[in-house]
Chains A and B, each alone.
Chain A
Amino acid sequence: MGEPVKAKTNRIGLEMAPYRGGKTTLCAGCGHNAISERIIDAFFEMGVNPRDVIKLSGIGCSSKTPAYFLADAHGFNSVHGRMPSVATGALLANRKMIAIGVSGDGDTGAIGIGQFVHLMRRNVPLVYIIEDNGCYGLTKGQFSPTADVGSTQKNGQPNDLPPIDTCMLAVQLGASFVARSFSGDKKQLLAILKAAIAHRGTAMIDVLSPCVTFNDHEGSTKSYAYVKEHDEPGGEVNFVPFFEDISVEYDPGTTTAVTMHDGSKLYLKKVAEEYNPTDKLAAMRLMHETHARGEFATGILYIEPDKDDFVNQLNLVDTPLAFLPTGTVRPGREVLDAVMEEHR
């Protein structure tokens, strides 16, 4: 018998357990499970206390996943497509919490497109993940608005309508961190998630996440095989969190360095000579061009590290609004007297 193995702890001394969640009830092999794993890793490695985190979601297979990661975080599984408003309210009540929201491509692109638009536009500080499988998993395989033209359903039925590109929308609408990744690309997804946690503002990540049960057949453009084949992991993401004192040698000709709000560094490999991830037009052009080739660019596509976020803009007191005492939020007797006098 050897020494008992000491469990691995992170920089704030926590073990892995509080970062894990309940046992998943999703299908074996579902892309969403892999994303949950990366979320667990990212929060653990970033040393964020799950108790400081609120995790929210809409409705769908994807939206079930907050139950499967960060057991100690405060969770809220809300209604279909309307998680953005719930997250916004929660962050106004308590600006100190770190928020992660999980949605599906149906949850975001269809019923929730309105709230998605306004979430991006407000730049609400949260990590917003779309687990994108091109279909409605939970209601058994109908097309979602991110399904590509010509992509087929399991029964062979092709999709006739063009897809909504959530990343393009997010850039246009004002999100300050826009990324796309693939549930099967462990390394890239983990780096993006860690950078997203370090970001202050909306970090919108569209993660292609195949549905093994309803959308993994030949003819689907969101199958594992198809995604692997057409993934264009252009901007390689190299994230150095603020607490790691590493200086990276980089060539400004091929890599862009971005300093994030908390001091973390992001080194993004350039996909093309003129590409600059802090340039909206360049980001849009990249997405258009890769899309035209039938491929999709992954990586951090756009970043604006210093954009003011919604909660900050409201200039709130430091104490979370939720915990302000009666004496602070109820004006004195003289205020009521003065108002009554105005109406006499």
Chain B
Amino acid sequence: MNKVVNDFSIQVATVNGSGSQTANLVLLRSIFQMGIPVSGKNMFPSNIAGLPTWYTVRANRDGFIARKKEVDFLVAMNAETAREDVMTLEPGRAVLYDEPLKLNQLRTDLTFYPVPFDKIVATVCTDAKLRRLVKNMIYDGVLSELLGIEMGEMEKALRKQFGKKVKAADLNMGALKAGADYAKQHLTKADPFAVERMNKTGGMILIEGNTAAALGAMFAGVTVVAWYPITPSSSLPEALIGYLKKYRVDPATGKATYAVVQAEDEIASIGMVLGAGWAGARAMTSTSGPGVSLMSEFAGLAYYAEIPGVVFDIQRVGPSTGLPTRTAQGDIASTALLSHGDTKQILLIPSSVEECFELAQDAFDLAERFQQLVFVMSDLDLGMNTWMSTPFTYPDRVYDRGKVLTAENVKALGAEWGRYRDVDGDGIPYRTIPDTGMPSYFTRGSGHNERGQYSERPDDYQRNVDRLARKHETAKQQVPAPIVEDADAEVAIVAYGTSHWAVVEARTQLEKEAGLKTAYMRLRAFPFPAEVDAFIARYKRVYLVEQNRDAQMKMLLRIELPAGATNHVRSVLHYNGLPIDARSITDDILVQEGRKARDTVEAAAAVGRGAAAVATAAREGE
């Protein structure tokens, strides 16, 4: 048997609310501490307790951290899904399971490791009430022994996880050790997967995108936050509140340099953001698709009355309630054109936790520079999952407050100041911020002329929206440019957001498996900088990878690029709610390139979707 070192995925199947998250994070962190690139993805139901949930840890020596389609090592703790979980594995994989489930009778082409969890936990935990929680740490212990994860690293990760709660940590340490001892005495290693120390994670951090974005907002100097709870966005404002309380309260006076309001709904959230942005604060909200839909009317007011604000959209699946705990890039088109009439918003699209931090700061500067809303289009996969990253860079630049007039320079403009006048030819007008002594103007969403006065004159309206179109043109040159990697190739891939990680891996698969070299462009913003058009024009066939059904980014390219510029753009679409994986992209491109038959790919597609697809569907969710 060939050993497979540092290249596998572990999937832990448990029940929601059983407290397995700590054990999963300890597993992830201990492998990370051993220097091996990792990613952790939580696949959870829209439910508080009782429904099945899966957590996948991927270790990959080459640094590929997208979701891996195939599960290599299954930890089956959930009776309800165990059967399907086992049946969808590819041959040669390993299953660690709760002994009474008797899963070894299901198949003969897998390696089975039965573990009597209840018996073991009874020996280490006298308090019956705590057993349910402590039990999970046992599979970590067993895995440490079977895979070769150093116990010292596991202990370090566990202690970090529990922080000051030493008693709880000690209790869990007992379970961890008991698991390892059991494996030592009763299990014989029979699968190929192994962990060996590397040095690829030195100095790196593990963090969720929402935490990173919260930090970005704090360092961007956010002062007003209004939000309404919604998965998968809530952890962003919640993390932000934690940081603000800690770092943005004047220690001398106990007074806050920020205001956070849990609003009555998303309409009120965005209304507060607009009021605060109008009055000069750096204001933000965070939400997901349903909330963005509710914000639509206010988004039009912000666009037309020219009011800054930042909206984080942590995208989730579906029209309506959809799959609230699954990931997608489904709000791209609707958000870019959010609101009635002619509106075009600015979108920034982070791919990594680092970009959640950085683009959060860009968002506040761009919002004030362009006096409009800036939407940061994250997603559930990025926002709620744990990603490794280099530590973030401290921002040195001074905030860009944009064209804000002060009492002095307003005098210089004299009687000439008109709120909506295009003084500089870039479409961006000058504004004053309501304050004692500042000249006032009347902000309105109804028709207005360059001086901000009510007007229904056709030429006033048209001149104003034409100027807004000019502003949009200016924005093209100032939003984050795409990251371009040219190649001597006919085929190019375009992607954005979290698809990036799967694309990187797919490009090596394409080259290795089919000798297909590809160029790559990662989009980071709407509107599109000139490089986008140029890149697409340079290649014969362009594959645009998206996590939605309707090729939404392609629609936007069609709207924004000259006629015919996107004729050779094809789509690779992934929209089943799971994070996109490299295998799916590679296979889809090979089929479209005529290098692989579609039916072989479809047969393979059933694999790896796992029981996740089957089991939750079988039960009533919400």
Same complex origin of A and B: yes
Using CB atoms and an 8 Å cutoff, list the residues of chain A in contact with chain B.
49-52, 54, 56, 66-67, 71-79, 82-94, 96-97, 114-115, 117-118, 311, 314-318, 320-324, 326, 328-331, 333, 335-337, 339-340, 343-344
Q: Which residues of B contact A323 (CB under 8 A)?
A: 280, 435
Contacts of B204 in A (CB 8 A): 344
Interface presence of B531 (CB below 8 A)? no
Residues of B with C-beta under 8 A to A91 = 275, 279
Q: How far is the CA of A324 from the CA of B207 in the complex (A)?
A: 29
Total A-B pairs, Cβ < 8 A: 213
CB distance B443 to A76 under 8 Å? yes
Task: Identify the closest chain A residue to B389 (Cβ).
Answer: A343
For this complex, 19 residue pairs linking A to B, each with C-beta atoms less than 8 Å apart, are A49-B436, A51-B438, A56-B275, A71-B440, A77-B442, A78-B271, A79-B298, A85-B270, A86-B274, A89-B226, A90-B276, A92-B224, A92-B275, A93-B224, A93-B278, A94-B434, A322-B281, A330-B399, A333-B394
For B263, what are the chain A residues with a Cβ–Cβ distance below 8 Å?
85, 118
A331 touches B271 (CB 8 A): no
Q: Which residues of A contact B270 (CB under 8 A)?
A: 85
CB pair B205 A343 closer than 8 Å: yes
A85 and B268 within 8 A (CB): yes
8 nearest interchain CB pairs?
A89-B275, A85-B271, A322-B280, A93-B281, A89-B272, A74-B434, A93-B279, A89-B276
CB distance from B293 to the nearest CB of A (A): 15
Interface centre among B218, B274, B279, B444 (most CB of A within 10 A): B279
- Chain B residues positioned under 8 Å from A314 (CB to CB): 256, 259
B436 touches A51 (CB 8 A): yes
| Minimal beta-carbon separation of B392 from chain A (angstroms) | 6
The answer to whether residues A92 and B261 also contact, given A97-B434, A335-B247 and a CB cut-off of 8 A, is yes
Return the chain A residue nearest B33 by Cβ.
Answer: A344
Number of interface residues of B (CB under 8 A): 70
A89, A318, A333: which contacts B277 (Cβ < 8 A)? A89
CA separation between A324 and B441, bound complex, in Å?
A: 23
Closest residue to A73 on the B side, CB-wise? Answer: B440
In Å, the complex CA distance between A79 and B270 comes to 12
Q: Which residues of A contact B271 (CB under 8 A)?
A: 78-79, 82-86, 88-89, 115
In this assembly, does B398 line the interface, its C-beta being within 8 Å of a C-beta of chain A? Answer: yes
CA distance A333 to B270 in the complex (A): 31
User: How near does chain A come to B278, taking the closest CB pair, in angstroms?
Assistant: 6
* Chain A residues whose C-beta falls within 8 Å of the C-beta of B206 in the assembled complex: 343-344
Contact between A72 and B440, CB atoms less than 8 A apart: yes
Query: B610 on the interface (CB 8 Å rule)?
Result: no
B275 touches A328 (CB 8 A): no
Q: Give which listed residue, B211, B259, B268, B279, contacts A97 with CB less than 8 A.
A: B279
Q: Name which residue of chain B comes closest to A56, CB basis.
A: B275
The docked-state distance in angstroms from the alpha carbon of A79 to that of B301 is 8
**Residue from A77, A87, A311, A329 with most neighbouring chain B CB atoms (10 Å):** A329
Q: Which residue of A lies closest to B432 (CB)?
A: A74
For window 301-336 of B, CB contacts with A under 8 Å fall at: 301
B491 CB to closest chain A CB (Å) equals 38
Let me know if B221 and A54 touch, CB within 8 A.
no
In the bound complex, how far is the Cα of B394 from the Cα of A84, in angstroms?
A: 37
- Flag whether B594 is at the interface (Cβ < 8 A): no
Contact across chains for B274 and A78 when beta carbons are under 8 A apart: yes
B425 at the interface (CB under 8 A from A): no
Decide: B255 and A336 in contact? CB cutoff 8 A.
no
Please give me the residue from chain A that is nearest to B246 by CB atom: A335
Is B257 in contact with A88, judged by CB distance below 8 angstroms? no
* Whole-angstrom distance between the Cβ of A282 and the nearest chain B Cβ: 29
Report the nearest A residue to B205, measured CB to CB.
Answer: A343
B169 at interface by CB-CB < 8 Å = no
Set of chain A residues within 8 Å of B258, measured between Cβ atoms: 321, 329
Pair B436/A321 contact, Cβ less than 8 Å: no
B575 located at the interface, meaning its Cβ lies under 8 Å from any Cβ of chain A in the complex: no
What is the CA–CA distance of A255 and B445 in the complex, to the nearest angstrom? 46
Residues of B within 8 A of A79 (CB): 271, 297-298, 301, 445
Contact A322 B272 (CB under 8 A): no
What separation, in Å, do the CA atoms of A331 and B211 have in the docked complex? 16
A329-B257, A344-B205 are known; give 12 further A-B pairs, CB within 8 A.
Answer: A51-B440, A67-B454, A75-B444, A76-B275, A76-B442, A77-B443, A78-B445, A79-B301, A86-B275, A97-B434, A317-B253, A343-B211
Q: Report yes or no: A322 in contact with B391, Cβ–Cβ below 8 A.
A: no
**Residue from the list A56, A89, A316 in contact with B255, Cβ < 8 A:** A316
| A333 to B207 alpha-carbon distance, docked (Å) | 19
- A92/B392 in contact, CB under 8 A: no
A192 to B441, CA, bound (A): 28
Tell me whether B268 and A118 are in contact (CB under 8 A): yes
Q: Which of A75, A82, A326, A328 has the most chain B CB atoms closer than 10 A to its own CB?
A: A82
Q: A49 → chain B, closest Cβ, in Å?
A: 7
- Are B205 and A93 neighbours in the complex by a CB distance under 8 Å? no
| Separation of A91 and B391 alpha carbons in the complex (Å) | 36
Contact with A along B28-50 (1 / 0, CB 8 A): 00000000000000000000000
A343 to chain B, nearest CB (A): 4
In the complex, which residues of chain A have a beta carbon less than 8 angstroms from the beta carbon of B248? 329, 331
Which of B205, B298, B436 has a CB less than 8 Å from the CB of A340? B205
Establish whether residues A86 and B257, one from each chain, have CB atoms under 8 Å apart when the complex forms: no
B265 beta carbon closer than 8 Å to chain A: yes
* A248, B226: Cα distance in complex, Å: 45
Contact B264 A114 (CB under 8 A): yes
In the bound complex, do residue B215 and residue A317 qualify as a contact, i.e. CB atoms below 8 Å apart? no
| Contact status A88-B275, CB under 8 Å | yes
Q: Which partner residue on chain B sits nearest A322 by CB separation?
A: B280
Q: Does residue B433 face the partner (Cβ distance < 8 Å to A)? A: yes
Q: Nearest Cβ in chain B — how far from A253, in angstroms?
A: 43
Q: Is the CB of A94 within 8 A of B226?
A: no
The docked-state distance in angstroms from the alpha carbon of A67 to that of B453 is 9
Pair B254/A320 contact, Cβ less than 8 Å = no
Q: Which residue of A lies closest to B274 (CB)?
A: A86
User: In the complex the two chains form, is B395's CB within 8 Å of A330's CB?
Assistant: yes
CB distance from A306 to the nearest CB of B (A): 21
A321 touches B223 (CB 8 A): yes
C-alpha spacing A336/B207, complex, angstroms: 13
**Nearest Cβ in chain B — how far from A341, in angstroms?**
9
**Alpha-carbon gap, A86 to B279, bound state (A):** 10
Q: Which of A75, A93, A115, A326 contacts B398 (CB 8 A)?
A: A326
Interface 1/0 per residue, B276-302 and A, CB below 8 Å: 111111110000000000000110010
